[in-house]
């Protein structure tokens, strides 16, 4: 997502801010603070929790070197599978000349002053911003620590620091061969003045950056010993599970808990305004207690709301609402010629990560401690302070490894809920949502109703383009300060207002249409780009077809001046063999091209569609230019995983509402992609020395249009509504009859999975 | 009281017979490597072995595990196949968020115990019950083959 506080567009160089700029922004200046003495502490009260936990030498908020030789690196961002702990540790370890086996990583506590992500204006992990925001600042922090340690050694030896080298945390005076370990220098280094800016390594000397290093967290993920939030146990803890009012904005009217309280292991039933929790000695008792409750809901104002109503309202708003213009070049309304128009509809989406929402909270009269995996640590602390009424310094939040988020953990309302329950008891309670609750009480990716049109010249090339999207804003509630003066949500039009194509007359506009009160919006992997690239790249494909041209050469003809766009287009088409070899009937190849999150991607998908409309993905090829790569293994993994996440949604995902509540329950009816449906995915990374671009969400951005364009190529059917309705892909009316007559009643195979053919249906 | 053998250790637990094994492992015994993802055997995160065969512990009543050898992710590394699978998982760097991976590793180990040289179709059938929302399927397939053959088809990460 774009920066809520638009620093990336300031004149100031984000990568190497002057100290004055840091002070002005109040974000990274205290990266160079340490805890040696009160007079040297900038912006922190002496009683702050940061002092308590660690030893001797904390030259800044990111590095702690102990005299026992331990080196802890504090991670400003949260690890949720995207490899950021390894990336951030790599940047620090590189400049400190440490091996990755010599460091351990720690989750950062809530502290906006120390850990805010300047690209998001908040202590937050998301928007594919992590490496982009800390690429220089973390290396600066590591270099500063190294500088002070080397200075301490040089001082002890009474030599020029320039004569010292460092390898694996050992400082050597080259001329005399004397050595000192970081552990032996920690005490003295703490008394050194931090440098204004320590010199960074020349990239040609990188030992760690750019290599496919083993991740720091994966050994524990493979031996099962690494703890996720769900796994944390504290003494005296009890476990609770919850049901909130299924219809958005509704409330608890009454609860009959007599049966629940008789279940062995059930301890207590707790209520808040809109939800009921059952506390048990263990989860199963709590769950059985929950199922034994008789809850009467006041279903509230949305009691009759449906998805049909939602889309009717969106269509109406699209026709009659007042659009906010995101960008206008030329005069798109005045251009005469053949016009092609299309309407695209995208569904509500849930996140459904593998780890359901869970929060462990212990509220005591003068403290509140929380253990939760979060993308927004400071906001968790804020909501806990609000709910308990305790001052901020009495709130402790311990971040945890997250079992998949895809944007879900950017919202702290579930933490607020857990605190509201926990303050009713004096023991710690771990609130675990069931999968059903996780789907029913998500913060949903909005539905969109998009009308797009182009006026084309005699060759079929677009000379005017108007893209009107209609839907809810996520930014308006997540970071209201980031909304434009005219009310524009900058994320909502990302990759719609700026295209990799040169179109002389273009307008991108948005009609805002919010969710009903009580229904929560959410960031979903790929955010604005996932929505817009689907529409743009599908529509470009439509235009190519209308012009009778190949989708690749059609795009090539329209490219603007950025060579990096051409670079990924060329690489992907070459690796995929676009245009070479013949595809058989009902086989198709589709392409998508875009530049989201500061990176450039081109993805080509091959599909085969059976006469009955079943879609099989047979291969995918991705070309990615993400600038300087910290860990190429992670880049490949994120592209592969992101593509699967996007295809899964395109094929199966659509949250529907009835009586103001979500109809989907679990993975049986909120279906997701499995291994037998996953094709080989070849990822090709463009070598680059440019600034790092984002990676975490980019695969998902490209997945859906590449797939639906391939389906069009295979079947001639243009899919403008997601999820894909395979009944639209049936070859002819005889195709289904052929299957029905072939399958006898003894032959009842499970419809869900056809393992040996990899078909999806 | 029910007597269970988990990873060759005896445990005595006092829970109703129909308590799912998953919650006995996680909440009573304290082995949290086995995960909760759905509670209805749709996702496979809860996969453990009963006498070497994969089962979904979220729907297995604990009474059904009495007298059987229960193996969880915490114990699978002590087996020869489990160890090979875990090494392949690390070599290729399969895991992203890692939450589904204990279940994936348990299913993969059971597959290789039954079929030392599985085909793609065998892998599909055995592993289709294990969801991964991070989408690590390409590497899961490659890691199973690496564990089976001892040959690396993909570059290995540097430890």
For chain B, say whether A676 makes contact (Cβ under 8 Å).
yes
Q: Where are the alpha helices (DSSP H) in A365-522?
A: 377-388, 413-422, 435-440, 475-478
The whole-angstrom separation of Cα A133 and Cα A598 is 12
**Residue A490, domain member (yes or no):** yes
Partner-chain residue, chosen from B37, B98, B131, that has the shortest CB–CB distance to A81 = B98
Nearest to A464 by CA among A508, A495, A503: A503
Both tokens of A86, joined, read 């390894």
Partner-chain residue, chosen from A281, A355, A678, that has the shortest CB–CB distance to B99 = A355
**N- to C-terminal Cα separation, chain B:** 45
- The CA-based angle A699-A702-A706, given to 5 degrees, is 130
On whether both B94 and B55 belong to a single domain, the answer is no
On whether both B39 and B97 belong to a single domain, the answer is no
Q: Which domain holds residue B124?
A: 80-149
Q: Confirm if A299 and A252 have CB atoms less than 8 A apart.
A: no
Partner-chain residue, chosen from B26, B97, B124, that has the shortest CB–CB distance to A676 = B124
**Residue B155, domain member (yes or no):** no
> A247: domain CATH number?
3.30.365.10
Inter-chain CB proximity B128 and A225 less than 8 Å: no
Chain A interface disruption, residue of B134, B142, B147, most A CBs within 10 A: B134
Last-in-domain residue among B40, B75, B110: B75
Partners of residue A715 on adjacent β-strands: none
Q: Confirm if A356 and A437 have CB atoms less than 8 A apart.
A: yes
Q: pTM of the predicted model, to two decimals?
A: 0.92
Neighbours of A732 (CB within 10 A): 9
Nearest to A25 by CA among A2, A37, A43: A43
Helix (H, G, I), strand (E, B) or coil at A759: strand
> B133: domain CATH number?
1.10.150.120
Nearest to A127 by CA among A139, A137, A112, A117: A117
On whether both B95 and B36 belong to a single domain, the answer is no
**Residue A95, domain member (yes or no):** yes
On whether both A495 and A583 belong to a single domain, the answer is yes
* Predicted pLDDT at A35: 26
On whether both B114 and B91 belong to a single domain, the answer is yes
- Nearest chain B residue (CA) to A210: B158
* Predicted pLDDT at A359: 98
The whole-angstrom separation of Cα A88 and Cα A90 is 5
Residue with tokens 């009955």: A612
A212 contacts on B by Cβ (under 8 Å):
93, 155-158
Q: Which domain holds residue A478?
A: 448-734
DSSP-derived secondary structure letter, A513: -
The whole-angstrom separation of Cα A471 and Cα B36 is 34
On whether both A515 and A618 belong to a single domain, the answer is yes
For chain B, say whether A640 makes contact (Cβ under 8 Å).
yes
Partner-chain residue, chosen from B34, B38, B125, that has the shortest CB–CB distance to A666 = B38
Chain B interface disruption, residue of A292, A675, A699, most B CBs within 10 A: A675
Both tokens of A350, joined, read 């849930």
What is the distance in angstroms between the Cα of A21 and the nearest Cα belonging to chain B?
A: 36
User: Given CA atoms A747, A752, A755, A759 in this order, what sign does their dihedral have?
Assistant: positive
On whether both A501 and A581 belong to a single domain, the answer is yes
On whether both B10 and B57 belong to a single domain, the answer is yes
On whether both A412 and A540 belong to a single domain, the answer is no
For chain B, say whether A212 makes contact (Cβ under 8 Å).
yes
Last-in-domain residue among B75, B93, B122: B75
Partner-chain residue, chosen from B37, B98, B123, that has the shortest CB–CB distance to A218 = B98
B133 contacts on A by Cβ (under 8 Å):
352-354, 404, 406, 645, 672
Inter-chain CB proximity A672 and B133 less than 8 Å: yes
On whether both B43 and B87 belong to a single domain, the answer is no
Can you count the helices (H) and strands (E) in chain B?
A: 6, 5
**Residue B110, domain member (yes or no):** yes
Q: Which residues of B9-23 are buried (b: 16+ CB within 10 A; e: fewer)?
A: eebebebeeebbbbb
DSSP-derived secondary structure letter, A204: G
Partner-chain residue, chosen from B23, B30, B74, that has the shortest CB–CB distance to A283 = B23
ipTM metric? 0.98
* Predicted pLDDT at A98: 96
Number of structural domains, chain A?
Answer: 3
CA dihedral A447, A448, A449, A451 (to 10 degrees): -170
* Predicted pLDDT at A741: 67
> B56: domain CATH number?
3.10.20.30
- Nearest chain A residue (CA) to B140: A675
On whether both A72 and A109 belong to a single domain, the answer is yes
On whether both B99 and B141 belong to a single domain, the answer is yes
On whether both A186 and A263 belong to a single domain, the answer is no
Helix (H) or strand (E) holding B146: helix B137-149
**Residue A346, domain member (yes or no):** no
Average pLDDT, chain B: 97
Last-in-domain residue among B46, B75, B104: B75
Both tokens of B118, joined, read 């599985």
Residues of chain A with pLDDT under 70: 1-60, 740-761
The whole-angstrom separation of Cα A314 and Cα B147 is 52
How many CA atoms within 13 Å lie on the side-chain side of B71? Answer: 20
Inter-chain CB proximity A667 and B43 less than 8 Å: yes
Task: Give the mean model confidence (pLDDT) for residues B71-76.
Answer: 98
Q: Confirm if A674 and A734 have CB atoms less than 8 A apart.
A: no
The whole-angstrom separation of Cα A105 and Cα A75 is 7
Nearest to A610 by CA among A451, A470, A743, A736: A736
* Predicted pLDDT at A177: 96
On whether both A542 and A687 belong to a single domain, the answer is yes
* Predicted pLDDT at A10: 34
DSSP-derived secondary structure letter, A527: H
* Predicted pLDDT at A423: 98
**Residue B89, domain member (yes or no):** yes
- pLDDT tens profile A269-290: 999 999 999 999 999 999 999 9
B156 contacts on A by Cβ (under 8 Å):
212
């Amino acid at each position: 997502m774009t920066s809520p506080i638009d620093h990336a567009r300031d004149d100031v160089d984000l990568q190497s801010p002057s100290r004055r700029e840091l002070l002005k922004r109040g974000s990274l200046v205290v990266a160079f603070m340490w805890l040696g003495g009160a007079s040297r502490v900038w912006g922190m009260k002496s009683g702050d929790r940061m002092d308590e936990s660690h030893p001797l030498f904390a030259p800044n908020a990111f590095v702690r070197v102990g005299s026992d030789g331990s080196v802890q690196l504090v991670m400003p961002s949260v690890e949720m599978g995207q490899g950021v702990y390894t990336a951030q540790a790599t940047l620090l370890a590189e400049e400190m000349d440490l091996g990755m086996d010599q460091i351990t990583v720690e989750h950062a506590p809530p502290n906006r002053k120390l850990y805010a992500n300047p690209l998001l204006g908040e202590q937050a992990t998301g928007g594919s911003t992590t490496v982009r925001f800390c690429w220089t600042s973390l290396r600066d922090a590591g270099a500063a620590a190294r500088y002070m340690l080397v200075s301490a050694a040089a001082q002890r030896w009474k030599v020029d620091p320039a004569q010292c080298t460092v390898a694996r945390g050992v400082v050597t005076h080259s001329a005399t061969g004397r050595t000192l370990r970081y552990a032996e220098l920690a005490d003295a280094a703490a008394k050194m003045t931090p440098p204004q800016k320590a010199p960074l390594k020349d990239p040609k000397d990188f030992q760690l950056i750019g290599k496919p290093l083993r991740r720091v967290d994966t050994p524990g993920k493979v031996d099962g010993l690494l703890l996720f939030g769900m796994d944390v146990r504290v003494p005296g803890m009890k476990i609770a599970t919850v049901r909130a009012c299924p219809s958005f904005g509704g409330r608890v009217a009454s609860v009959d808990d007599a049966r629940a309280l008789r279940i062995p292991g059930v301890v207590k039933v707790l209520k808040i305004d809109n939800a009921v929790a059952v506390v048990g000695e263990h989860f199963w008792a709590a769950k059985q207690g929950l199922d034994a409750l008789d809850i009467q809901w006041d279903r509230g104002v949305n009691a009759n709301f449906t998805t049909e109503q939602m889309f009717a309202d969106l269509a109406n708003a699209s026709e009659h609402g007042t659009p906010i213009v995101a960008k206008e070049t030329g005069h798109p309304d005045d251009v005469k010629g053949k016009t092609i128009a299309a309407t695209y509809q995208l569904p509500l989406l849930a996140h459904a990560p593998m780890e359901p929402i869970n929060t462990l909270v212990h509220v005591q009269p003068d403290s509140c401690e929380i253990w939760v995996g979060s993308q927004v640590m400071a906001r968790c602390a804020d909501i806990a302070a609000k709910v308990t009424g305790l001052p901020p310094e009495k709130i402790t939040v311990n971040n945890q490894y997250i079992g998949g988020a895809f944007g879900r953990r950017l919202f702290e309302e579930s933490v607020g809920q857990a605190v509201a329950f926990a303050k009713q008891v004096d023991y710690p309670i771990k609130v675990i949502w069931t999968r059903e609750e996780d789907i029913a009480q998500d913060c949903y990716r909005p539905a969109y109703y998009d009308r797009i049109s182009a006026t084309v010249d005699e060759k079929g090339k677009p000379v005017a383009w108007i893209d009107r999207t209609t839907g809810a804003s996520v930014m308006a509630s997540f970071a209201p300060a980031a909304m434009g003066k005219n009310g524009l949500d900058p994320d909502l039009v990302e990759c719609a207002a700026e295209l990799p194509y040169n179109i002389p007359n273009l307008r991108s506009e948005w009609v805002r249409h919010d969710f009903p009160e009580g229904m929560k919006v959410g960031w979903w992997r790929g955010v604005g780009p996932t929505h817009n690239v689907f529409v743009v790249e599908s529509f470009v494909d439509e235009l190519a077809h209308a012009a009778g041209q190949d989708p690749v050469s059609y795009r090539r003809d329209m490219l603007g001046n950025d060579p990096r766009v051409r670079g990924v287009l060329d690489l992907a088409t070459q690796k995929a063999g676009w245009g070479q070899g013949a595809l058989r009937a009902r086989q198709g190849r589709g392409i998508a091209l875009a530049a989201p999150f500061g990176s450039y991607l081109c993805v080509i998908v091959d599909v085969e569609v059976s006469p009955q409309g079943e879609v099989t993905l047979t291969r995918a090829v991705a070309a990615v230019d993400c600038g300087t790569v910290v860990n190429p293994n992670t880049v490949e993994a994120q592209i592969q995983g992101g593509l699967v996440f996007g295809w899964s949604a395109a094929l199966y995902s659509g949250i529907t509402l009835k009586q103001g509540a979500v109809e989907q329950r679990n993975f049986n009816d909120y279906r997701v992609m499995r291994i037998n449906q996953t094709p080989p995915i070849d990822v090709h990374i463009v070598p680059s020395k440019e600034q790092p671009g984002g990676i975490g969400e980019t695969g998902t951005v490209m997945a859906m249009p590449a797939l639906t364009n391939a389906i069009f190529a295979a079947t001639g059917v243009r899919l403008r509504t997601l999820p894909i309705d395979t009944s639209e892909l049936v070859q002819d009316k005889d195709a289904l009859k052929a299957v029905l007559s072939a399958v006898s009643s003894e032959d009842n195979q499970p419809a869900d999975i056809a393992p040996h053919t990899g078909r999806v249906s | 009281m029910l007597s269970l053998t988990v990873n060759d250790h005896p445990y005595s637990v006092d829970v109703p017979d129909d308590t799912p094994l998953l919650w006995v492992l996680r909440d009573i015994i304290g082995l949290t490597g086995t995960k909760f993802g759905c509670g209805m055997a749709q996702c496979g995160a809860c996969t453990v072995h009963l006498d070497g065969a994969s089962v979904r512990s979220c729907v297995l009543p604990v009474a059904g595990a009495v007298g059987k050898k229960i193996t969880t992710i915490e114990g699978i590394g002590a087996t020869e196949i489990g160890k090979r699978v875990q090494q392949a998982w690390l070599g290729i760097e399969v895991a992203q968020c890692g939450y589904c991976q204990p279940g994936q590793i348990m299913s993969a180990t059971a597959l290789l115990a039954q079929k030392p040289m599985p085909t793609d179709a065998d892998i599909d059938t055995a592993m289709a019950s294990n969801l991964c929302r991070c989408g690590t399927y390409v590497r899961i397939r490659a890691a199973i083959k690496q564990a089976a053959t001892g040959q690396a088809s993909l570059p290995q990460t540097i430890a």
